[in-house]
Amino acid sequence: MYKILIADDEMIERMVLKKKLTENFGDKCEILVAENGREVVEKYKESKPDVLILDIEMPGLSGLDAAQLIRGLGSKSNIIFLTAFNEFDYAKKAISVHALEYLLKPCDDKELILSVEEAMRLADADNSKGNEEEDKDESEADAELNTADLILSYIEENYGGELSVQKMAEQFAYSEVYFCRLFKQHFGESFISYLTEYRIRKAIQLLESTNLSVKDIGKKVGYEDSNYFTKVFKRVKNVSPSEYKNQLQ
């Protein structure tokens, strides 16, 4: 069972998030809640949650400050920020936290659920990283506006391997925060959401044009775990890969 800690100073926001996660993951996760950063740190010390979903701006101790304290304790928990703030100067403060995802409120339900699923997968694989990335100065931002094609090309060439925000940021010499913002600026959705849908499109092509097994197709599009591939495919297409293949016949 995964432990997920939700933190937001608005009670309604906490209730809505908890309801969404319960509806999508049921008894697979234990959901904890906190209403400020200090409570986040306390509950982290008590329960060591696998996933932290944090509002950035909270009274007393912000979500960013809480995340930094938790990282200082050696935590590899996957952090997802939900924030209404889209200011670059503000986002730069989050660089050392190495969050998995940065979603702007109001966030799309699909993006949230896919991000949490990815956090769960990384928790299973113990694939979190704690390496620090150097920030990129805001004055350089204009020079990065033509990188969309390069990012797409890299995804097209490497989608069958292990891709993450951390790896993409490293590949293009960006901080993770800056990469997330740049990606969403160019493509209108988060990197995780885009990569998931891209992989599923490639899987559909293979289902329609080859006789490969579902397991082999999953591996070709970047999912070593066939059960996880089936779950993600069904999340996106509302049918399993096997059901999709049967429909073709």
Q: What pLDDT, on a 0 to 100 scale, did the predictor assign at position 139?
A: 41
**193 and 95 fall within a common domain:** no
**61 and 160 fall within a common domain:** no
Measured CA to CA, the distance from residue 198 to residue 201 in angstroms comes to 5
**18 and 102 fall within a common domain:** yes
Mean pLDDT of 210-224: 94
More reliable by pLDDT, 98 or 240 = 240
Total domains in the chain come to 2
Within a domain: residue 37? yes
- Per-range mean pLDDT, top range of 75-89, 112-126, 171-185, 204-218: 204-218
Is the pLDDT assigned to residue 60 strictly greater than 90? no
Q: What pLDDT, on a 0 to 100 scale, did the predictor assign at position 140?
A: 45
* Range of weakest confidence among 121-125, 141-145, 196-200: 141-145
109-139 per-position pLDDT tens digit: 888 888 898 888 888 875 434 333 334 344 4
Within a domain: residue 196? yes
Is the pLDDT assigned to residue 88 strictly greater than 70? no
**6 and 119 fall within a common domain:** yes
Is the pLDDT assigned to residue 246 strictly greater than 80? yes
**146 and 248 fall within a common domain:** yes
Within a domain: residue 31? yes
CATH code for position 206: 1.10.10.60
CATH code for position 119: 3.40.50.2300
Is the pLDDT assigned to residue 71 strictly greater than 80? yes
Within a domain: residue 137? no
Within a domain: residue 136? no
Per-residue pLDDT band for 91 (boundaries 50, 70, 90) equals: low
Within a domain: residue 131? no
Which of 90, 125, 160 marks a domain boundary? 125
Q: What pLDDT, on a 0 to 100 scale, did the predictor assign at position 130?
A: 37
**69 and 176 fall within a common domain:** no
Mean of per-residue pLDDT scores for the chain: 83
Domain that holds residue 190: 142-249
Is the pLDDT assigned to residue 97 strictly greater than 80? no
165-185 per-position pLDDT tens digit: 888 988 887 777 778 878 887
More reliable by pLDDT, 91 or 12 = 12
Q: What pLDDT, on a 0 to 100 scale, did the predictor assign at position 200?
A: 95
**92 and 48 fall within a common domain:** yes
Which of 99, 125, 151 marks a domain boundary? 125
